[in-house]
Structure 1
């Protein structure tokens, strides 16, 4: 699943940019003709890539956030029960609202952490916590 996302993220102009060495390792595997060696290559290459994706340390903007803390630059309502938040580093997050939460304000400090089931938790000013989805950087 990660391999397909990586290949999709690298299509087009993004492929011309200098790639993260972890991505280069994955992309080198299809060139191996022996099936067992190719599978071993993928197994070895995907582990560090998966770890980097889960802790947010990948540089490719479509694969993870730039940082796991920061300040709110802007907010905007997005339909029913959603709030779009952009941080000063450009990362965009979609927060799920559940009721009477105190909404993040411009300048609020935030801390973001990875949840157990591939979700994200977005904590504002050491208080209110929201379930969030990373949307990437603006174009």
Structure 2
């Protein structure tokens, strides 16, 4: 059953939706640095050298203690990339850290690894990959049985699926399980 809308409603309906969603977009939280980091940066404004050094020492000690107690996590871009690579294949929500989208332009679209272990899993195979690339399964049969040491390549495909190759088998559908 299709509902017929008058022409005016066809024009006004999208405008009303945009007007209702605009405040939600405008109210998005602003990226903020941790208070501890702001306090450290504020030490720069102190003109007297002894007081400035004392301020830096106190704030660096506080940052170090917070990091050791897991109250503060410090990661460089390389660590972020390695973490993303290790999570390749899992469906994760899109989120940002402190309002910043880290490394958005370097999204991992494929992995290459070698098979560390392989076993039958239902109609397909289960693989444990080297370099913390996880455990993957196939649901399809393959022309040749995969073996330890085979090169494996998995790429993102459409609608959240993954396609790749293992050994001489091409066009294999994969699913990440661990």
More helix by share: 2
More strand by share: 1
* TM-score w.r.t. length of structure 2: 0.40
Higher-Rg member (1/2) = 2
* TM-score w.r.t. length of structure 1: 0.50
